[in-house]
Amino acid sequence: MRFTTQVLLIARRTMQLSVLLALGAASVAATAAFAAGGTPALSGVVAVFASVFAVYNFDRLADKSPAEGRSTPERRALTQRWSTVLRVCIATSALLALVLGASVSLAAFAWTIAFPLLGMLYALPLRAWGRVYRLKDVPYLKPFYVCACWTELIAVSLSHSGLDATPAIVALAVFVYPRLFISANLGDVRDVEDDAAAGIRSLPQWLGRSGTLRLLEVLQWASAAGLVLAVASGVAPPAMLGLLVPTAVAYAIFRAYVRRPDQQAFFTDLYDLELVLYAPSWAIAAALTTA
């Protein structure tokens, strides 16, 4: 029992420190290479993992707002307790990503550095016209901006692998964007009361909890239908149907999130498991469809 408890604790800490999220990003990078008809470059997969780990933990260390502490108190306490170690890990991860990009090509370096820069631009306060702004505080911007940044990671993978964009890559990007949009808004539904108290306007504040969850339910089914349509029309290879497996897993987590509002923080972190399953699901589907 003690061993199981320790394993669960480590798993929870892994999710709170964005390790699971970074693994999901690496999986998306590998999937992009598969979609382009090539093999994932190790440098690209590692660079994407390092970039996402660095950016998300940088954002959490930089965000000292009371709202963040109220919505995810365990994560706030964890990041504060390990702040010195996290700073070293963030700097090391960011440097590793940039070195890997520079070692491949100028294009790979440019695409690799873009994500950390966009992350810093989002998290850090900017001074303009005598006032201080943060992009993350701009009303309704967060899910659209974050999803666009994640879509950029597909280009990072292609640049490291030396692959060109194909219709299948476009189909993958169109599929991934609403999947990420769902994930981003689950966090905003969780934080809706704290964001309102802090004066931050988000989609769940506009639509309400039930209205937002209905929209996300529609996106769940629409994105899955779009995937099937892309394969049926020949735009994407049959292996892309393998992504229906992580989509189903994500939907099960989504329904648990809806049923258990008292566990929203846990299910929001667990939802990142969908992305982790992308690459293995595609690889297995590719093996089955070519056998």
Residue 185 lies in a domain: yes
Residue 256 lies in a domain: yes
Residue 174 lies in a domain: yes
Q: How far apart are CA 42 and CA 212, in angstroms?
A: 38
The pLDDT, as a whole number, for residue 71 is: 58
Phi and psi angles of residue 188, each rounded to the nearest 5 degrees, phi first? -70, -35
Residue 181 lies in a domain: yes
Q: How many domains does the chain have?
A: 1
Residue 147 lies in a domain: yes
Residue 207 lies in a domain: yes
Q: Which DSSP helix (H) or strand (E) runs through 127?
A: strand 126-128
Q: How far apart are CA 80 and CA 77, in angstroms?
A: 5
Q: In which domain, by residue range, is 172 found?
A: 10-290
Residue 2 lies in a domain: no
The 8-class DSSP code of residue 237 comes to -
The pLDDT, as a whole number, for residue 134 is: 77
Cα–Cα distance list, 36 to 62, 96, 162 (Å) = 36, 25, 10
List the alpha helices (DSSP H) in the chain.
2-16, 19-35, 42-62, 66-71, 73-81, 83-104, 106-123, 142-161, 167-190, 192-197, 203-232, 244-259, 264-270, 273-276, 278-290
Q: What is the mean pLDDT of each run of 10 residues along the chain (291 residues)?
A: 51 64 96 96 97 88 63 68 84 95 96 93 74 77 92 97 96 97 89 72 86 95 97 96 97 94 84 95 93 60
Residue 5 lies in a domain: no
Query: Which token pair is 210?
Result: 């039930």
Q: How far apart are CA 148 and CA 197, in angstroms?
A: 27
